[in-house]
Homo-oligomer: A and B are copies of this chain.
Amino acid sequence: MKEIFAGGAPPAPAALAAKVRTLAPSMTRSMQRVAEAVAADPAGCAALTVTGLAELTGTSEATVVRTARLLGYPGYRDLRLALAGLAAQQQSGRAPAVTADIAVDDPIADVVAKLAYDEQQTLADTAAGLDTVQLGAAVGALAVARRVEVYGVAASGLVAQDLAQKLLRIGHVAHAHSDPHLAVTNAVTLRAKDVAIAITHSGSTGDVIEPLRVAFEHGATTIAITGRPDGLVSQYADHILTTSTARESELRPAAMSSRTSQLLVVDCLFVGVAQRTYETAAPALAASYEALAHRHRSGGDASVGR
Contact = CB atoms under 8 A, between A and B. Distances in A.
A112 B170 CA distance: 19
Contacts of A97: none
Interface in A250-275: 250-253, 255-256, 259-260, 263-264, 267-268, 271-272, 274-275
A2 B230 CA distance: 53
Contacts of A105: 275
A250 B165 CA distance: 16
Task: Give the interface SS of chain A, mostly helix, strand, loop or mixed.
Answer: helix
Interface string A288-306: 0000100111111111111
Contact of A228 (B123, B127, B300): B300
Nearest to A235: B306
A115 B130 CA distance: 13
A123 to B, nearest CB: 5
Contact of A165 (B92, B120, B127, B154): B154
A188 interface: no
A158 interface: yes
Interface stretch (A33-41, A55-63, A198-206, A217-225): A198-206
Contacts of A306: 1, 234-235
B158 A162 contact: yes
Given A85-B87, A87-B85, A271 B252 contact: yes
Given A88-B89, A104-B275, A115-B271, 8 more contacts: A81-B81, A115-B127, A115-B267, A166-B253, A204-B298, A230-B304, A232-B299, A260-B263
- Nearest 8 pairs between A and B by C-beta? A204-B300, A85-B88, A116-B127, A81-B84, A204-B296, A84-B84, A120-B120, A109-B132
10 contacts: A13-B88, A26-B301, A28-B302, A104-B278, A105-B275, A108-B132, A116-B264, A232-B300, A232-B303, A234-B306
